[in-house]
Structures are given as C-alpha cells and as structure tokens.
Amino acid sequence: MIELIKGDITYYLETNNSEEISELFRLADRIRERYVGNKVYLRAIIEFSNICRNNCKYCGIRRDANIKRYAMKPKEIVKCAQYAEDLGYGTVVLQSGENSIYDDKMADIVREIKETTKLAVVLSIGEKTYGQYLEYRIAGADRYLLKHETSNPKLFYELTGRNLENRLQCLRWLIDLGYQVGSGNIVGLPGQTIEDLANDLLMFKEWDFDMLGIGPFIPCHGTPLENHPPGDPILTLKVIALARILTKNAHIPATTAIRTVLGDDKAHLIFRCGANVVMGNVTPLEYRKLYRIYPGKVCNFKDPESWLNDIKEQIREAGLKPSGEVGHSLKRRWRLKTLKLKHNNKNFDLKKC
Ligand code: SAH
C-alpha cells in the first residue's frame, strides 16, 4: 500500500526530472488498473443554460460577461438525455450556470429522464439549499458535481467573491443526502501555490469523494483573468496522477479542460496517468458554442456522434476499453442499499443507486 504524505506530494508537484515524472505516471497507471480496471466510462454532458448569477473571475459565463444567454426548455433537455442513451451512454450530466430559472423545474426534468431511460443522472448546477438538493434526490438524481475549485479560502474568495465554507457546506449536505459526490479543482489559477495544490489533494483523500474533476486554468477573454497564463498541462497531469494514487478508486475524468490544452493527439495520455472517465458533449451545437466557460473547447464543433467515436478511439489508443455502463461509484459505502432521511417531519427512504 502506497501512502503519500504532504512532503511527497509537494516533491512530485515540484520536480522537473522527467524520470521521476514518468515514474509517477506509471504508478498512477498501475493503481488505476488495480483498483478501477481497464474500462473507461463514457458520460454524456448537456450544458443546458449559460445563465449565471455568479461572477467568478476565471469563468467565461460569469454574470458580467457580455455574451448571448440561453436556457434550454425542459422538454429539450429530456430529449437530449434520451438521445444520449441512444448513442450508448450510461450516464448523463446536466450542467449549467448557477441560476434560479430551473428551481421549480429540475425535479420534473430529473424524474422524466429517470422514468424514460436507464441513465444515471448527475447534476452540476452549483450551490443550492438543502431542501432543493433533497427534492432533486427524491426525484431520482444519483450524483452531483460541485468542484471546490481551490481549498485556499482566501484565493477562493478573491476569485469568486464568495465563501468557500458555503461550498463545503453544500458538499456535506450532498454527501448526507446519499448523492455520489464529485468535487475537484482548477490547476494553475493566478495566485495559487504548490502548497495550495497539495492541500487540494489532501482534501480529496480526506473527503473520500466518489469523483474528482481536475483541469487546468484556461484564460478566457472578456474575463478579468484574460491576460494570465494558462495552467501547465504537465502539472495538471501530475495532480491527476497524485489524486489516483491517494484516492485509489475514485472516478477521475480526463476533463475537457485538460483535453483542450493537450490537444486531440495527446489526449490518450491522460488515461495512462490515472483517469478512468471521459465526458462526451451532447449539447445541441447552437447552444454549445455559447457555453464558453473557456475558449477552444475540444468539443466545440463536433457533432455528438463523431465526438463519441473520437473519444472511443483515444481510449483504445491508450490500450483501454470504452464502456457505456452506468458506472456508479466504486466506494465501499455504496454497498448500503437505502438511506433513511427526515425532513420537515416527513420520512424519506432513498435508494442509493
Ligand atoms: N455552475 C456549476 C458549473 C460550473 S462550470 C457549478 O458552479 O458547479 C464547471 C467547471 O468549469 C467549474 O467548476 C470550473 O472548475 C470550470 N471552469 C470554469 N472556468 C474555467 C476556466 N477558465 N478554466 C478552467 N476551468 C474552468
């Protein structure tokens, strides 16, 4: 059993020695093989609205960005999810900017997808109340993605204008409600130190998240950080590898952001540094180009079918197997089948997966 301490983590994050970096990637690859096997799970993502009340300095769909806004209709979202199932995906991720437009619609959207497909449903719609998370969970949502972005509270406040503690409270609620929970960070944020990254990694291990989204910072024009340099791809791969070594069986995607900075020809390498999941974009093209959290997204102009073929090819190129299975969390706590919850004096029996 390999147990890394903070000193080892910072050492590997800092080293420029190519032998040591290769050794780190090889170790992550072996651990991926041993704990999660050779399948790479395919998840479909629908970016259903770019309307956002937040003003994160790094994000291209921030409130102050001067861009055309859209909000897909609930029926369109459900249809798009059904299409994802037809393409062979086992999971659909519904992602948007943080807004209230869907507050009273989300539960119905989730319910309809769960009733008409076999898909696992993942929500990625930001910070909500406990009551809302409960409502969506009862409607059938299986998982939730809410990246903590950086574990440094000062940096988080500086970049988002909000308190990290609220986000962590949301993550605690999501865990209590029996969601499979994904967090993650951005690598190379202006002002972020190697120690901050080491703390992110220790937090991944301590919280034992089911999923971890790790991607480099990509400057986006029209944002206050447009002139800052992007996050280093090798450093990002090191964070992915260290996350695999520390957490063993978390689902770790080859995120669109790291795929974007590496480019299509090198994207297969991410699957040999610890990643075991990848997302394919099924957002209708007319909306997809407006969901510009950062520029140059690899998927921007590909139709969903050729996009899926390309990612399957990259997975095979890495010597692994693309899988359209539902691919639930591999964490042991998921062997428990039900969860009893009390809210507003009502009892709820939730099936865990
Ligand atoms: N509103 C949702 C979804 C946010 S977009 C939420 O708050 O969770 C999904 C992710 O994109 C964010 O969590 C962030 O990590 C990433 N992101 C945004 N802007 C970025 C940029 N410029 N570079 C890299 N990643 C970025």
With a cut of 90, say whether residue 348 has pLDDT above it: no
DSSP string of 2-60, one letter each residue: ----HHHHHHHHH---HHHHHHHHHHHHHHHHHHH-SEEEEEEEEEEE---S---TT-T
Q: Cβ distance 53 to 99 under 8 Å? A: yes
With a cut of 90, say whether residue 344 has pLDDT above it: no
How far apart are alpha carbons 288 and 299 in whole angstroms?
9
How far apart are alpha carbons 145 and 157 in whole angstroms?
20
Least confidently predicted of 138-147, 181-190, 229-238, 293-302: 293-302
With a cut of 70, say whether residue 309 has pLDDT above it: yes
Read off the pLDDT of each residue in 115-125 and give the average, rounded to a whole number.
98
What percentage of the chain exceeds 90 in pLDDT?
A: 88
Q: How many CA atoms lie within 13 A of 22 on its CB side?
A: 3
Is this model's pTM higher than 0.85 or not? Answer: yes
Cα 147 to averaged position of ligand 1 atoms, centre (Å): 8
Enumerate domains of the chain plus CATH numbers.
6-349 (3.20.20.70)
Read off the pLDDT of each residue in 290-302 and give the average, rounded to a whole number.
81
Residue whose CA is at the smallest distance from ligand 1 atom 12: 147
Q: Does ligand 1 lie within 6 Å of residue 189's CB atom?
A: no
Identify the three-state secondary structure at position 142.
Answer: coil
CA distances (Å), 316 to each of 179, 249, 313, 321, 322, in order? 31, 21, 5, 6, 7
Q: Does ligand 1 lie within 6 Å of residue 170's CB atom?
A: no
